[in-house]
Amino acid sequence: MNCSHCGSVTTKKNGHTHYGKQNYLCHSCNRQFVEGGQDWFVSESDKTLINKLLLERISLSGICRVCDVSEQWLLAYIKKLYENLPDDLNADLTLPDIEAYLADRMDEEIGRIEVIKKIRLHYRNTFKSQKLR
């Protein structure tokens, strides 16, 4: 049996856990471990998938079913994610000058309308010339 922490082969049996699984002790790093004890941890690839699913706004129950995690674990994971976020989220809290903003939007809209008028005029002229033939 290899140590799950340091990889050493100098281990010995060290009783049983309260779940009845065989417990081992590593002589190199003095850690106790259970064979296959790391299997129940959520892997980094699963956490990456969970992050993507959270961004897609899928229900928490759906994420639990897909990733085979408990809702309790998922809620604790989300809480840890929120705790790591900065307070201001790097948001620019200053408001733009409303007059300049509206003037820019108005210029954009006028430009769109002019393009539509040019397209309509082009089609009218094209269809008129085809009818005259």
Residue 5 — pLDDT band, cuts 50, 70, 90? Answer: confident
Based on the fold, state whether residues 22 and 50 are members of the same structural domain: no
- Domains in the chain, number: 2
The pTM score is 0.45
Q: Tell the residue number behind the tokens 């699963």, with chain if given.
A: 46
Domain interval for residue 62: 44-83
- The whole-number pLDDT of residue 47 equals 93
Residue 48 sits at φ, ψ, to 5 deg, of -65, -45
Is it the case that residue 103 has pLDDT exceeding 90? yes
Q: How do strand 22-26 and strand 32-34 relate by DSSP bridges?
A: antiparallel
Is it the case that residue 39 has pLDDT exceeding 60? no
Among 81, 78, 79, 49, which Cα is nearest to 65's?
49
Please check whether residue 89 lies inside any domain of the structure: no
Please check whether residue 74 lies inside any domain of the structure: yes
